[in-house]
Amino acid sequence: MRYSTQLSDAVHILAYIAVFSPTEAITSDALAASIETNPTNVRKIMGKLRQSDLIHTVNGQARPTLSRPIEEITLHDVFTSIQGGAKLIEVDEHTNPRCIIGANIQQALEKEYARLQQAAEDAMRQVTLADILRSISASAISSDPNSQDMVGAFL
Segment 107-154, tens digit of pLDDT: 999 999 999 999 999 999 999 999 999 999 999 999 999 999 999 999
Torsion angle of the four alpha carbons 76, 80, 82, 85, in this order, in degrees rounded to the nearest 10:
140
Q: 6-87+128-154 — its CATH code?
A: 1.10.10.10
State the Cα–Cα distance between residues 19 and 147, nearest whole angstrom.
12
User: Looking at residue 1, what is its pLDDT?
Assistant: 53
State the Cα–Cα distance between residues 28 and 34, nearest whole angstrom.
10
- Its pTM stands at 0.92
Measured at the CA of 66, the angle between CA 143 and CA 63, to 5 degrees, comes to 90
20-50 residue pLDDT tens: 998 889 999 999 999 999 999 999 999 999 9
- Average pLDDT, integer, range 76-94: 92
